[in-house]
Structure 1
Amino acid sequence: MSNVEALSGATGEELTALSDKAKEMGATTKFTAGESADALSYMALAGWDTQSMLDGISPVLNLAAAANMDLAQASDIVTDYLTAFGLKASDTTHFVDVMAYAMANSNTDVIQLGEAYKACAATATSLGYSVEETTAVLATMANAGVKGGEAGTALNAIFTRLATNTKECGDTLAEYGVQIYLQPPHQRGYRQPHRLF
């Protein structure tokens, strides 16, 4: 908690609330209070305020438990890629649900998704693709044996190619009977991304 205090700047009642939350997680879940504090540290590093940390720890903990992974690592993945997808701390529960759904319904896991996001999330966001759309493609790729960083790098190349060399891509896809809309979503008047999960 000293680390959380230093990283978050929380003092007084806020620090007490965070400490109590770490203890609560330690008493009611498979993770220790120390592991919960480490997860809070990653949230503090991401610039989350005290309330966001208090609200976000439970969904992150549930994701780590479902994925049977280190809690701090799960927290690091969630905080990094919420930002990369242009989401806020208040979107944590939904973001975790998207990853958990992909893990349960395709041949991938949270660590592999994190590695894939590392390579493609920023590009996807800049082109207007949602976390749901991006994760659905990564889940489909995983089912075909392309996972983790390899999948993210391949998807990033696809996004880049479609955005910067669209006519040639469109012509090639048309040869296979695939017609694409030649503008990325953010140029189509998208208001709300379609949720696949």
Structure 2
Amino acid sequence: MKDVGLWIISRVVLNRSHSCCPDQAEMLKQHRELSMFLCRTIETNEKAGIRPSETYQSFMAVAGSHRELSDHCIKYAFWVDARSRAACEYFKDVVSFDTTYNTNKYNLVLGSFVGVNHHGQSTLLGCSLMKNEDIQSFRLLFDCWLRCMGGKAPKGMLTDQSTLIRRAIELCMPTTIHRWCI
């Protein structure tokens, strides 16, 4: 894991699982680096309080469609901020993980980690976007979430009735008690 300031890079996959086609040369590594302009745009938007989703929308508008950005680039994304980390310190006894929202427009699955504060209100402890709902994706997500939350697993987790999610919890957080939500 490499800490590069505001972002923590926990895993980079450099191998490819498909043959290279000349008409898809723009997908090669040397074509995927962000220009200085895009990097500065992201940093400026962040400082100005512009949400990442709005920055993404502006990039999508420039690219022409969401397919250009999501089909080949986004396989997995995870978000947690300082407020979520602080809330997790206090409200992580039982965490709900939900993936019932599927964004049809981008064909990505939205997952959310939610705890309950001392006022009985839901508090967001992290979000994810995943291209695939397989055990490897869930394990990667849970491992990343645990690292961001200081490595301390919750006492209990509530999830939908996915056996893949249950199995990933057993592997990543063996002391956590899993319960299904109905």
**TM-score under structure 2 length normalisation:** 0.27
Larger Rg: 1
If each structure's strand is expressed as a fraction of its own residues, which one has the higher value? 2
**TM-score under structure 1 length normalisation:** 0.26
